[in-house]
């Protein structure tokens, strides 16, 4: 199956000479439609930089990136903004809600910016707030919500235009233990629904919401664990495979080569995820950081 997201030798370096930081160093990544990928690793290993590249918030110095078959590594700023609006939802550690707007208005806003009618935007926002368990908080301003509730509003906002890809950077980073559990449960539900997710975190509990967990160090992938078949087929059970990727695409990460480890037999995704939800790539309209940052 064609991956919905594919990165090949993706690179982002900062500085020069002795100050050179290889924030993202020749990373290969395929994400199948309906797959939930968790990325963990120590502070400074390049997780956020990678996520920003994957979401067309930042441009790589080298390598290639495709979303839904479209090359996105060399887009103009305008084209990148359009792509983000159309196809990518973001959830950030710091929520980035608009303080002056209610929960419902925050969720509606990206739909309105994408051209939805006020009635349609309201209908969708109301349904999503219900979906994240906040129907009774729709009229609250962010300041009147707990951290976990704010992040659930942010997740609803990220989903309002039905993006092909949902990216989250430390979505539980500002939350206490109880709120972290709430938000992780929500992401686990989204995974089970067959949403395509890439979640970056320090928190190894994010594994609960991932089909595949990748460990990053010094700008590169150093380990990969397959947790389940995408789209939450529980009968798939639990399997660990180190140092390899399933590579029916011809563009795998090459980790097996780097570590001299063979593929473990019988593991990996295969291509029969079956229940994967077709997110209808390219349909609908998204909401990118550009639009958020223009408002906050």
Ligand X SMILES: Nc1ncnc2c1ncn2[C@@H]1O[C@H](COP(=O)(O)OP(=O)(O)OP(=O)(O)O)[C@@H](O)[C@H]1O
Q: Output the six-digit token pair for 79.
A: 């084209």
Kindly write out the interface string for residues 10-49 of this chain, putting x where it contacts Mg ion by CB under 5 A and - elsewhere. --------------------------------------x-
Instruction: Point out which span in 44-52, 138-146, 153-161, 245-253 binds ligand X (CB under 6 A).
Output: 44-52
Instruction: Point out which span in 42-50, 95-103, 107-115, 283-291 binds ligand X (CB under 6 A).
Output: 42-50
Out of 5, 27, 49, 73, point to the residue binding ligand X (CB under 6 A). 49
Kindly write out the interface string for residues 47-66 of this chain, putting x where it contacts Mg ion by CB under 5 A and - elsewhere. -x------------------
- Provide the phi-psi class of 153: left if phi over 0, else alpha when psi is between -120 and 50, else beta: alpha
Helices (H), 59-176: 77-87, 103-113, 118-131, 147-159
Q: Which residue is nearest to Mg ion (CB)?
A: 48
In whole angstroms, give the CA distance from residue 197 to residue 100: 29
DSSP state of 115: T
- The answer to whether 93 contacts Mg ion (rule: CB under 5 A) is no
* 153-172 residues near Mg ion, rule: CB under 5 A: none
In whole angstroms, give the CA distance from residue 284 to residue 274: 23
Best CA proximity match to 57, nearest among 105, 106, 91 = 91
Q: Output the six-digit token pair for 69.
A: 């078959």
What is the length of the chain? 296
- Partner that binds at residue 23, options Mg ion, ligand X, none, CB closer than 5 to 8 Å by kind: ligand X
Instruction: Point out which span in 38-46, 103-111, 180-188, 279-287 binds ligand X (CB under 6 A).
Output: 38-46
- Shortest distance (Å) from residue 1 CB to ligand X: 29
- Partner that binds at residue 222, options Mg ion, ligand X, none, CB closer than 5 to 8 Å by kind: none
> In the chain, what is the greatest distance between 2 CA atoms, to the nearest angstrom?
57
Q: In what order do the strands lie in the sheet with 21-31?
A: 21-31, 5-14, 62-67, 70-71
- The answer to whether 43 contacts ligand X (rule: CB under 6 A) is yes
- The answer to whether 48 contacts ligand X (rule: CB under 6 A) is yes
Closer residue to ligand X (CB): 16 or 177: 16
In whole angstroms, give the CA distance from residue 45 to residue 39: 11
DSSP state of 137: G
- The answer to whether 276 contacts ligand X (rule: CB under 6 A) is no
State how far Cα 125 lies from the chain centre.
20
- Shortest distance (Å) from residue 144 CB to Mg ion: 28
Return residues touching Mg ion (CB under 5 A). 48
Return residues touching ligand X (CB under 6 A). 14, 21, 23, 41, 43-49, 202
């Amino acid at each position: 199956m064609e991956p919905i997201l594919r990165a090949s030798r993706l690179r982002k370096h900062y500085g020069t000479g002795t100050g050179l930081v290889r924030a993202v160093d020749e990373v290969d990544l395929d994400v199948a439609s309906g797959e939930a990928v968790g990325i963990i690793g120590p502070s400074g290993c390049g997780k956020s930089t990678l996520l920003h590249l994957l979401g067309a918030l930042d441009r790589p110095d080298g390598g290639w990136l495709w979303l839904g078959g479209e090359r996105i590594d060399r887009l103009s700023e305008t084209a990148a903004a359009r792509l983000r609006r159309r196809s990518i939802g973001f959830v950030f550690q710091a929520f980035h809600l608009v303080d002056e707007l209610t929960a419902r208005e925050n969720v509606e806003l990206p739909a309105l910016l994408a051209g939805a009618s006020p009635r349609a935007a309201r209908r969708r926002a109301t349904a999503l707030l219900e979906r994240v368990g906040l129907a009774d908080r729709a009229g609250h301003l962010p300041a009147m919500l707990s951290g976990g509730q704010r992040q659930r509003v942010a997740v609803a906002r990220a989903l309002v235009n039905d993006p092909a890809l949902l990216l989250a950077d430390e979505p539980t980073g500002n939350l206490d233990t109880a709120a972290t559990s709430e938000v992780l449960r929500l992401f686990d539900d989204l995974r089970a629904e067959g949403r395509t997710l890439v979640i970056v975190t320090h928190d190894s509990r994010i594994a609960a919401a991932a089909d595949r967990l990748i460990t990053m160090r010094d700008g590169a992938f150093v380990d990969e664990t397959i947790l389940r078949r995408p789209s939450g087929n529980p009968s798939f059970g639990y399997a660990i495979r180190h140092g390899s990727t399933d590579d029916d695409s011809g563009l795998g990460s090459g980790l097996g080569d780097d570590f001299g480890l063979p593929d473990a037999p019988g593991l990996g995704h295969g291509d029969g995820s079956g229940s994967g939800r077709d997110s209808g790539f390219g349909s609908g309209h998204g909401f990118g950081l550009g639009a958020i940052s223009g408002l906050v």
